[in-house]
Amino acid sequence: MKILLIGNGGREHAIAWKMALSTIVDKIYCAPGNGGTHLENKCVNVNLDTIDELLNFAKEEKIDLTFVGPEAKLVEGIVDVFKENGLKIFGPSKAAAELEGSKAFAKEFMKKHGVKTAAYEVFDRVEEALDYTEKCPYPIVIKADGLAAGKGVVICGTAEEAQNTLKDFMVNDVFKGSGKKVVMEEFLDGVEASILSVTDGNVIVPFISAKDHKQIFDEDKGPNTGGMGAIVPNPYCTENVLKEFEETMLKPTLSGIKEEHMDYCGIIFFGLMITKKGTYLLEYNVRMGDPETQAVLPLLESDFTEIILAAIDGKLKDVEIKWKKGGACCVVLASKGYPGSYETGKAIDIKAAESKVFAAGAKYEDDTLKTSGGRVMSIVSTGDTLEEAIKNAYADIKNVNFEGMYFRKDIGTLYR
Mean of pLDDT over the chain: 96
Residue 17 phi/psi, 5-degree rounding, is: -60, -45
Strand, coil or helix: 29: strand
Rounded Cα gap, residues 266 and 373, in angstroms: 28
Segment 173-191 shows an average pLDDT of 95
The per-residue pLDDT for 354 is 84
The per-residue pLDDT for 93 is 98
| Whether the predicted pLDDT of 392 surpasses 80 | yes
Nearest Cα residue to 216 out of 410, 7, 18 = 410
Rounded Cα gap, residues 330 and 51, in angstroms: 31
Q: Which of 49, 76, 92 is the endpoint of a domain?
A: 92
Domain for residue 75, yes or no?
yes
* Residue 22: CATH number of its domain: 3.40.50.20
* Residue 196: CATH number of its domain: 3.30.470.20
Strand, coil or helix: 261: coil
The per-residue pLDDT for 107 is 97
Residue 96 phi/psi, 5-degree rounding, is: -70, -30
State whether 229 and 269 are in the same domain. Answer: yes
State whether 143 and 215 are in the same domain. Answer: no
Rounded Cα gap, residues 127 and 193, in angstroms: 34
Q: Which of 68, 92, 116 is the endpoint of a domain?
A: 92
Q: Is the omega angle on the peptide bond into residue 252 within 30 degrees of 0, that is, cis?
A: no
Q: Report pTM.
A: 0.96
Length of the chain: 416
Rounded Cα gap, residues 197 and 145, in angstroms: 23
Residue pair 183/104 in contact by the 8 Å Cβ criterion: yes
The per-residue pLDDT for 150 is 74
State whether 331 and 306 are in the same domain. Answer: no
Domain for residue 16, yes or no?
yes
State whether 196 and 296 are in the same domain. Answer: yes
State whether 163 and 138 are in the same domain. Answer: yes
* Residue 143: CATH number of its domain: 3.30.1490.20
State whether 211 and 135 are in the same domain. Answer: no
Segment 224-229 shows an average pLDDT of 93
The confidence band for 414, taking pLDDT boundaries of 50, 70 and 90, is low
The per-residue pLDDT for 151 is 77
The per-residue pLDDT for 36 is 97
The per-residue pLDDT for 415 is 52
State whether 314 and 332 are in the same domain. Answer: no
Q: Which of 318, 353, 375 is the endpoint of a domain?
A: 318
Rounded Cα gap, residues 152 and 58, in angstroms: 33
The per-residue pLDDT for 87 is 98
The per-residue pLDDT for 136 is 96
Nearest Cα residue to 70 out of 150, 136, 126, 152 = 150
The confidence band for 413, taking pLDDT boundaries of 50, 70 and 90, is confident
Torsion of CA 282, 286, 290, 292, to 10 degrees: 70
Based on the structure, what is the number of domains in the chain?
Answer: 4
- Residues of the domain holding 66: 2-92
State whether 351 and 314 are in the same domain. Answer: no
The per-residue pLDDT for 365 is 93
| Whether the predicted pLDDT of 92 surpasses 60 | yes
Residue pair 194/287 in contact by the 8 Å Cβ criterion: no
Torsion of CA 407, 153, 115, 286, to 10 degrees: -60
* Residue 373: CATH number of its domain: 3.90.600.10
State whether 242 and 304 are in the same domain. Answer: yes
The per-residue pLDDT for 222 is 92
| Whether the predicted pLDDT of 169 surpasses 50 | yes
Instruction: Give the pLDDT confidence of 355-379 residue by residue, as tens digits.
Output: 999 999 999 999 999 999 999 999 9
Instruction: Give the pLDDT confidence of 94-115 residue by residue, as tens digits.
Output: 999 999 999 999 999 999 999 9
Residue pair 218/408 in contact by the 8 Å Cβ criterion: yes
| Whether the predicted pLDDT of 264 surpasses 50 | yes
The per-residue pLDDT for 148 is 86
Segment 238-245 shows an average pLDDT of 98
Domain for residue 147, yes or no?
yes
Q: At what angle do helices 304-312 and 10-20 cross, to 10 degrees?
A: 90
Cβ count near 151 (within 10 Å):
16
CA neighbours within 13 Å on the CB side: how many for 170? 22
State whether 174 and 194 are in the same domain. Answer: no
State whether 276 and 172 are in the same domain. Answer: no
CA neighbours within 13 Å on the CB side: how many for 378? 30
Nearest Cα residue to 356 out of 403, 283, 294 = 294
Domain for residue 38, yes or no?
yes
Strand, coil or helix: 404: coil
Segment 246-263 shows an average pLDDT of 98
Segment 144-155 shows an average pLDDT of 88
Instruction: Give the pLDDT confidence of 49-67 residue by residue, as tens digits.
Output: 999 999 999 999 999 999 9
Angle at the Cα of 297 from the Cα atoms of 54 and 87, rounded to 5 degrees: 25
| Whether the predicted pLDDT of 314 surpasses 90 | yes
| Whether the predicted pLDDT of 416 surpasses 60 | no
Strand, coil or helix: 250: helix
Radius of gyration from C-alpha coordinates of the chain: 21
Strand, coil or helix: 181: coil
Domain for residue 82, yes or no?
yes
Domain for residue 109, yes or no?
no
Domain for residue 415, yes or no?
no
Domain for residue 414, yes or no?
no
Residue pair 237/246 in contact by the 8 Å Cβ criterion: no
